[in-house]
Structures are given as structure tokens and as C-alpha cells.
Chain A
Amino acid sequence: MSFMNDLINGADNRFDVNSLNALQKVTLRAVVVAFLFYGLAALEGMIMRTAAVIPDIPPVYGSVDHYFAIMTAHPIVGIFGSTYQLVFAAFMFLVPYLTKKPLYSVKLANAVWVLITLGTALAWIAAFIWHYAPLYTLYWPLPADTTQFKIIGGITFIAGVAIIMVGTLGFIYNIYATIFARVGIHKNKTTKELLISGFGIDGMLNLVHKLTGKPPYTKEPALSLPVVAIFRGTVDTFLDALVILSAGILVLVYLIANADGISLNVASVDALLYKNWFWWGLDLVADGLVLIYVAGSWYLLATLITGKKLFMENVARAALMLELLVSWMVWSHHLLADQAQPEIMKLVSGEMVTAFELLTQGLALFITLVTLWKARPLKMTMELKYLLGGLVGFGLAVPAGIIQADMAMNRVLHNTQWIIGAHVHVAVIVGLYMTLYSAVYVLWPLVTNNAKLWSMKLANAHFWLHLIGGIGMGAFMGMAGLDGMLRRHMYFHGEYNTYMILAGICGAMLLLAWVLFLFNIIMSVGLKGLIGIFLPSADKTASFGVEPEAVPETLKA
């Protein structure tokens, strides 16, 4: 087939957009938008990397206002616009697929990706046009500081974030309504049984029964392990959405009052208490949501790749429950440099409980590796490659975070490039995204009805560029952090040029990797297919791989 034919109709005309049902289309819509936002975040990252060496580069032109506005938009676009959309899309497809039930509402699923897209766009516009730049942490009372920021910018930004959170709540409702629907395989299950399974309690009870010599609590848990991980992670997503919404409402009250000429006293809100509240919620994204969703994704991918049962499944279920307690109690590691924070909170929550993440994530890594190992020999498929890449990412990033969550190290690493480079960027770009790419390759034949991938060479080039670029960028940023480079600071005198040039080269590899991936996908589905994904589906089915239940003869009559 010719290049032009593939570009227009997809590789070998194998992608038939009209054959997709409503669930497949809504999944693909969110995936497409998620990868577009990823590209925007990568571009923003490259602008900042370059400005760290040449501050006068357009569009920054040496302006701290513009630089920090980009830095404010960057995580919103990357985390919510891209990662949230991708994860939500995958899970809104997987929960019906794994539970063999229809998605509760395709309309709501469509509303979710529209709301998150709209909210992300608004937050980005607020930063781009009005240079609203309180940064992702929104430390009180900075977001309400109208001497530095325009009120309209603040209101637009906060409204954008609030819309993202409303979309997030829509996702949560859809997931829980699907899991708790008493249809198909869950027709005879009670809410209590589903809840016990969802929280991993049955896995814990199975372990206790085994230790005490009793027969298993249950041989067939109500929910499969990946669904348990999705259920568990979604609890944290819910709490996180509530915290961010509440912080947004507080900021809005001050901004709207200011717009009406009323100057409310910012000191009536305790800055440290606010910081604790905000980090408690925000940390649920990083230490609850990401780790739990990722662990669940590893388990799912390992079982799908090997076709075998997960190794130590009861331990995995129990570990997900343990992570529930851990993820709610670790936020204080963000406040180790706050001298007014009670020392006991720093020691227990900030250091000791946080260290448990080494255990919970280490367990997930171990279980995944052993499941793969027991199924040897395996073919080194794209999904397996990416899964191994994801394991490397978290193998590097989790200890990097634990190192900083220490009263000694934190004193010289807090707010440096170490945390954002060696920990956050390696966790998200290498750990999380490579896991998500593995899921994309596993889901590709299911969601596209076996469309052909245009080029394996491009897929491999994407893999290596992304892996080396991601680890390299994180490593050089981390080293700059060890030498004192701050994470939220613009340098004008070339203080860290060597590290920043090396990090920039690795960042360029990441951007090139994304271009190759996007090009490969467009060539696989074709421009017609790409447009068709966003057109209404003729087939309104909201499930995949489920045979319709036979209607009893008595009802037919």
C-alpha cells in the first residue's frame, strides 16, 4: 500500500472506524486528546529546558512572568490533560471488559473527556494570556495575590481546575456505577461482597485463614485484581478531587471579593494548615493514585502478556489494602522543611510511613516480575518491553523520593531539581507513561478491532528514545539539584548550563519520541479514521467482548 493511502485510510485499510462501538469510540477519543496534551506538555518542557540555558529564547524572552506561567500550565496539561485522560480512558474501557458488564453511561464518559479537555484549556489560557502563575502547589495566600496576578487570570485558572475536578467526579461515578451494577457476572453479588473485594479485604482474610489453618475465605473473589486496583485508586482520586475543589473555592471567594472591591484578610486562613490540607489531597495523586493504579496496571499487563494467573494474588490484594492506609498518611514528607510542622508528624508520617512505599511498590514489582518469570520463554513484544521500561522507571523513582523524604537529606534537597527530576519526571515519564504505553499496545487490537500498526521500526525507535531520554533528563536534572539548583527558579547567568544542556538533549529525545509515536498512530488509523473517531457511533453498545445474554423463550413470547 502507498504512503498516501496509509495516511488517508490507515495501514493496509485495516482500520474500519465504522465497526467501532460506542465504548471503543469514547475510549479512543480520550486517548487521542491525551496524547495531544502530552505533546503540548513536552513542548512546554523543552521551552523551559532551553530557557534554563538561554533565558532570552522565545516565547520566554527572559521574562520571569512568562517562564513561571509556562511552569504553572505544564503540570496541569501533563497530569490532568494527558495522564488523567489516558488513565480514565483505559479504565472506562477495562472495567466493562474485565467485569463483562456494560459501562454505566457512555454519555457520562463523553462528558468526562470534554470537561477535562475544556478545564485544561482554560487553565492553560489563564497562564498563556494573563500569566497567572501560582504554580501547581497553590501555596496560600499566593493564588489570591492580586498585586502579582490579574483577577481574571486567577478566576479563569481556578474555574479550569474546578471543571477538571467535576470531570474527575464524573469518571468516579461511572466507574463505581459500573462495578456495583447487579448485572452479568455480578447479578447475584451483594454490595457488601463487592465492597469487601474492592478494598482487598478478601485477600487479607484469605491470608489470615491460611496462617490459621482455616479454609480460604473465598476461592473466587467478587472482583478481579486489576478491578480492585482501579476501585482502590479511585477512592484516592475522589478525595483528591474534593481537596482540590475546596482549595479552588477558597481562592475563588477571595478573588471574586477582590473583584468587587472587597479586600478579605488573607491571614484569616492559616498558611501551614492550608499547606497540610492541600498536600494531603495532592499527595493522594502521587502516592495513592499513581502507585495503586500503576500496581494494578502491572498486574493486569503481566497476566494478559503471560496468559497466566498472577503470582501471590492474595498478597497483592492485601498490599492494595495496605496502600490505602499508607497513601492517606504520608503527606507530611512534603513539609519536612517547615519548622512549625510538629516533629512527630515529620517523623511518623513524613519519614516512617513514607518509607513503607518502598515496601508496597517493591511488592508490586516483585509480584509482576515473578509472574513474568514463571511464564518463560516469552516473546519480547512491544507491550512487554514497555512494561519492563515502566518497572525500571519506578525502580529508579521510588527510592529517589524516599531519599528526599528524610529529615537529613530534605534539608539540602527540598525544592531542588532533585525532586522534580530524579523523582517526579522519572516516575511519570518513564514509570507511568511506559506502563501506559504497554497498556496502549495491549488494548490496541481490542479498541481498534485489530487495526495494523504501521511501523514496528518506528515503535522501537519511540521506545528507546523515550526510555533513554526520560531517564537521562531526570538524571541530569537530579544532579543539578544535588549541586543546589532550585526547581522553581529562573537562572540568568548560566549557573547550571552543563547539566541543563544535557537534560535538554534528553528532553529533545522525548519530544522526538512523541512525534514518531504520533506519526505511527496516524499512519495506522489514517486521517479519515482519526476524524471518524470523533463522529457519533452507529453501534451504541457500551461493552466489549461480551456476548449478549440470550432472552428466555418465555419473554420472547
Chain B
Amino acid sequence: MSFANSMELLAFHKVAYTAYSLLIISVIAWFGYNLTRKHKANSLIRVSFYTYIAFLVAAGVGHHIFTYNVVPWVSEDITRNETVPDKSYHITVKDHHFILPKEKMVVNCGEKVLFDVKSKDLVYGFGLFRKDHSMVTQMQVNPGTKNDILWTFNESGVFDLMSTEYSGPKGNGMFVPDVLKVQCTQKIAMVDGGKV
């Protein structure tokens, strides 16, 4: 299994967490019902204490291992300092405004793009969104520190920019439409932790 972009990951997550929620609610409801019964309840399955603990450990740790291997941007993020980007964009944020590069940001599918964002005053967020408002990616932008994110796009589209961190009431208007264009000449799939 692999997730090409955040849309696929979030769709999977929506189904998986809904199924889990229904399961845990049902288990507690079944448990509560049987608590009041005089007759011995027939367990659907018998879970030993150690099996239960092993499940919790596997669920907690396994979740991270699972996502590391199938979500492309994790390993890319960890090794971003060692990677030479295909394109770099330097952006400054000041007085609740994004100061963007003069040239239009246009990238091709599969290119590794570095966004290096500097804040001159407050804490902001740098978030790219699709036209249906779903999120492509984001990072926090702190004043006084380096805030850079390496990203590989593999879906065509025109994306909007929004601040994803609260920076006071004025920050609510930090929206730049059509800030980035991604053009794909062929469908590209991400495999094996980010290799295109």
C-alpha cells in the first residue's frame, strides 16, 4: 500500500477511524449490556491481558512504522538537508502578508521543491490548499528560526496559500489564491517511501 498524496491518505484515514469508532462504541455497549445480566455472557473472543498489551504496543508503534513506509513525505522531510532541490522558493512573512517570489511559482510533477519561509515578526503557518479547501501540506513559521519544507508534487492543479497558524485577528485574511501551479504530463505514482 502507498499513498500518492494527502487526499488518498485522508480518505483512507476517514474510513479506518470511522470503523474503529463504531467498533469501540459497540464493544463498550456490549460490555455494558452484559454487566447487568445474571447469566454468564458468551464472549465473542477471549483476549488475554498480555495479548491486549501487545496489541496496544503494536498499534502505537506500528502506526508510525506504517505511515513512515507508505507516506512519501516523511522520509523526505527527515533527509531534506541532504537533498538538492530541483527548485527553491524564498518567501517572507511580515505584518500579516506573504511576500512571494517575483516569478510565478510553476513546478512539474516529480520535482523536489523547497519552500524556505522566513517570519519577520509573529508565528505564522505556511499551508498549501487545493481548490476544494483540502490541505496539501503545511508547516509552522517561527520568527528567528529556519522554516523550510521539501515537497514533491504529483498531482496537477492550482493551489492556494493560507496561514495555518493563528497570528491574531489580522491573520484571518492571510489568503493568496492561485499561488502555485503544478503541471503533470503523465500520471506519476509514489512508491517505496517517496521514490517517483
**A residues in contact (CB < 8 Å) with B:** 64-65, 67-68, 131, 133-135, 137, 139-142, 145, 148-149, 267, 270-272, 275, 312, 335, 337-340, 343, 351-352, 355-356, 358-359, 362-363, 366, 369, 372-373, 376-380, 384-385, 388, 391-392, 395-396, 399-400, 402-403, 406-409, 411-412, 414-416, 422, 471, 475, 478-479, 482-486, 488-490, 495-496
Q: Closest chain A residue to B33 by CB distance?
A: A380
Of the candidates A142, A395, A399, A416, the one whose C-beta lies within 8 Å of that of B168 is: A142
CB of A148 within 8 A of CB of B168, answer: yes
Q: Which residues does chain B contribute within 8 Å of A385, judged by CB atoms?
A: 32
Q: How far is the CB of B100 from chain A (nearest CB, A)?
A: 19
CB of A395 within 8 A of CB of B165, answer: no
CB of A355 within 8 A of CB of B60, answer: yes
Q: Which residues does chain A contribute within 8 Å of B147, judged by CB atoms?
A: 338-340
Q: How far is the CA of A416 from the CA of B168 in the complex (A)?
A: 17
CB of A339 within 8 A of CB of B144, answer: no
Q: Which residues does chain A contribute within 8 Å of B73, judged by CB atoms?
A: 408, 411
CB of A338 within 8 A of CB of B129, answer: no
Q: Which residues does chain B contribute within 8 Å of A272, judged by CB atoms?
A: 142, 144-145
Of the candidates B17, B67, B68, the one whose C-beta lies within 8 Å of that of A400 is: B17
Q: Which residues does chain A contribute within 8 Å of B28, judged by CB atoms?
A: 388, 391-392, 395
CB of A377 within 8 A of CB of B38, answer: yes
Q: How many residues in B have their beta carbons less than 8 Å from beta carbons of A? A: 69
CB of B145 within 8 A of CB of A484, answer: no
CB of A145 within 8 A of CB of B134, answer: no
Q: Closest chain A residue to B172 by CB distance?
A: A64
Q: Which residues does chain B contribute within 8 Å of A414, judged by CB atoms?
A: 138, 140, 164
CB of B63 within 8 A of CB of A355, answer: yes
Q: Which of B19-27, B84-92, B101-109, B176-184 forms part of the interface with chain A?
A: B19-27
CB of A377 within 8 A of CB of B78, answer: no
Q: How far is the CB of B189 from chain A (nearest CB, A)?
A: 17
Name which of B9, B38, B166, B167 has the most chain A CB atoms within 10 A of its CB.
B166
Q: How far is the CA of A486 from the CA of B67 in the complex (A)?
A: 23
CB of A148 within 8 A of CB of B36, answer: no
CB of B36 within 8 A of CB of A339, answer: no
Q: Answer yes or no: B10 CB below 8 A from chain A CBs.
A: yes
CB of A408 within 8 A of CB of B138, answer: no
Name which of A271, A379, A496 has the most chain B CB atoms within 10 A of its CB.
A271
Q: Answer yes or no: B13 CB below 8 A from chain A CBs.
A: yes
Q: How far is the CB of A356 from chain B (nearest CB, A)?
A: 7
Q: Closest chain A residue to B149 by CB distance?
A: A339
CB of A337 within 8 A of CB of B31, answer: no
CB of B144 within 8 A of CB of A267, answer: yes
CB of B53 within 8 A of CB of A396, answer: no
CB of A402 within 8 A of CB of B143, answer: no
Q: Closest chain A residue to B120 by CB distance?
A: A267
Give B2-48 interface residues, CB cut-off 8 Å to A: 6, 9-10, 13-14, 17, 20-21, 24-25, 28, 31-32, 34-38, 41
CB of A352 within 8 A of CB of B64, answer: yes
CB of A406 within 8 A of CB of B64, answer: yes
Counting from the closest, the 3 A-B pairs by CB-CB distance are A355-B60, A340-B145, A408-B67
CB of B139 within 8 A of CB of A339, answer: yes
Q: How far is the CA of A149 from the CA of B170 in the complex (A)?
A: 11
Q: Closest chain A residue to B55 by CB distance?
A: A362
Q: How far is the CB of A64 from chain B (nearest CB, A)?
A: 4
